[in-house]
Amino acid sequence: MPVVGTILNATVRRKPSGKYFVTLCVREEIMPHPNGGGKIGIDVGIKSFYTDSNGTIVNNPKYLKKSLKKLKREQKRLSRKQKGSRNRDKQRTRLARAHEKVTNQRSDFLQKQSTVLVRENQTICIEELRIRNMIKNHKLAMAISDVSWGNFFRMLEYKAVWYSVEIYRVPTFYPSSQTCGKCGYINTDVRNLAIRKWACPCCHTEHDRDRNASENILNKGLGLTA
C-alpha cells in the first residue's frame, strides 16, 4: 500500500560504527489497520521474554549475554592500542560495530514480537513496571537492560494506535504472581522468584507462576475498563 506524506526535515547522523543514517521527520495520515480482536495479558520476565494468558511462552534471546565474551575481547584489544593511533581508531570502530549488532538484533526481535501482538489482539494488558528502580539491583541490572521491557512497551503503544488496539497497564504493586487466578487467595510465599510452580493452599489449584500472572494481569486490566 503506497504511503503519502510530507517530509518536514531530514537529519544525517554518523554513528560510532562509522555508518551514516538519515532520519526523516514526516507528516502523514496513518490509515488504521484491522486487528484479530483477541484479548491478552502479558507477564514479562528475564528467563522467558514473556508468557501470555493464552499459554504462549516467548523465550528471551539474551543477545547481550551471548555477545559478552566478544565485546569484552574487543574492549580489551582497544585498551591495548596506543592512544591517538590509527589502529586505536580502527579498533574503536570494531567495538562500536559489535555493540551495534547487539542493539540491532534486540530491536529486530522487539519489533517483530510487538507487531504480532497488535495484529492479533484488540486488548493488551501489561504491567506498569518501575524499570529504573529495578535496575538498581546490580545482580539483575544487566539482564533487565538486555531484555529491554521499556522499549517493548513503547513499541506496543505506538503500534496500538495504528491497529486501534487498547493497551491497559496494571498497577505496579498488583500481586499478579501471588494471586490465585481461581479463588483470589494471595500466597505471599510466591514472592520468592525461585518458585515457578505452586498450589493454592485455599482451593488447591496448581499454577504455573508466569501463566497464572499473565491471566491475572488480563483480568485486572479488563477490570480497569469497567
Q: How far is CA 95 from its chain centroid?
A: 25
pLDDT of residue 71 exceeding 80, the answer is: yes
- Among residues 52, 74, 146, 210, the one annotated as catalytic is 210
> Residue 10's pLDDT is what?
94
pLDDT of residue 2 exceeding 60, the answer is: no
> Residue 64's pLDDT is what?
95
Mean pLDDT in residue range 70-78 = 97
Q: Catalytic annotation on 208?
A: no
Compute the residue count for the chain. 226
> Residue 132's pLDDT is what?
87
> Residue 193's pLDDT is what?
86
Residues 35, 38, 41, 44: is their CA dihedral positive or negative? negative
pLDDT of residue 51 exceeding 80, the answer is: yes
Q: Residue 218 pairs with which residues in a beta bridge?
A: none
- Average pLDDT over the chain, rounded to whole? 93
CB 213 within 8 A of CB 36: no
pLDDT of residue 226 exceeding 90, the answer is: no
> Residue 3's pLDDT is what?
59
Residues 199, 205, 206, 210: is their CA dihedral positive or negative? negative
Q: How confident is the model at residue 1 (pLDDT cuts 50, 70, 90)?
A: very low
Residues 28 and 34: their CA atoms lie apart, in Å, by 19
Q: What is the DSSP string of the chain?
A: ----EEEEEEEEEE-TTS-EEEEEEEEEPPPP-----EEEEEEE-SSEEEEETTS-EEE---HHHHHHHHHHHHHHHHHHSPTT-HHHHHHHHHHHHHHHHHHHHHHHHHHHHHHHHHHHEEEEEEE---HHHHTTSTTTHHHHHHHTHHHHHHHHHHHHHHTT-EEEEEPTT--TTTB-TTT--B-GGGGSTT--EEE-TTT--EEEHHHHHHHHHHHHHHHTT-
Q: Catalytic annotation on 210?
A: yes
pLDDT in tens, 102-131: 999 999 999 999 999 999 999 999 999 988
pLDDT of residue 137 exceeding 70, the answer is: yes
The count of other CB atoms within 10 Å of the CB of residue 187 is: 18
Residues 226 and 224: their CA atoms lie apart, in Å, by 6
- Among residues 74, 127, 146, 215, the one annotated as catalytic is 127
Annotate 31-40 with b (16+ C-beta within 10 A) or e (fewer): eeeebeebeb
Contacts of residues 187-190 at CB distance under 8 Å and 24 or more positions apart, as own/partner, are none
pLDDT of residue 153 exceeding 80, the answer is: yes
Window from 83-87, 92-96, 139-143, 155-159 with minimum mean pLDDT: 139-143
pLDDT of residue 18 exceeding 80, the answer is: yes
Mean pLDDT in residue range 49-62 = 96
Model confidence, pTM: 0.90
> Residue 187's pLDDT is what?
95
Pick the more confident residue, 3 or 61: 61
pLDDT in tens, 184-218: 999 999 999 889 999 999 999 999 999 999 999 99
- Among residues 43, 52, 146, 215, the one annotated as catalytic is 43
The phi and psi torsions of 172 (rounded to 5 degrees) equal -55, -45
Q: Which grid coordinates are listed for 50?
A: 514473556
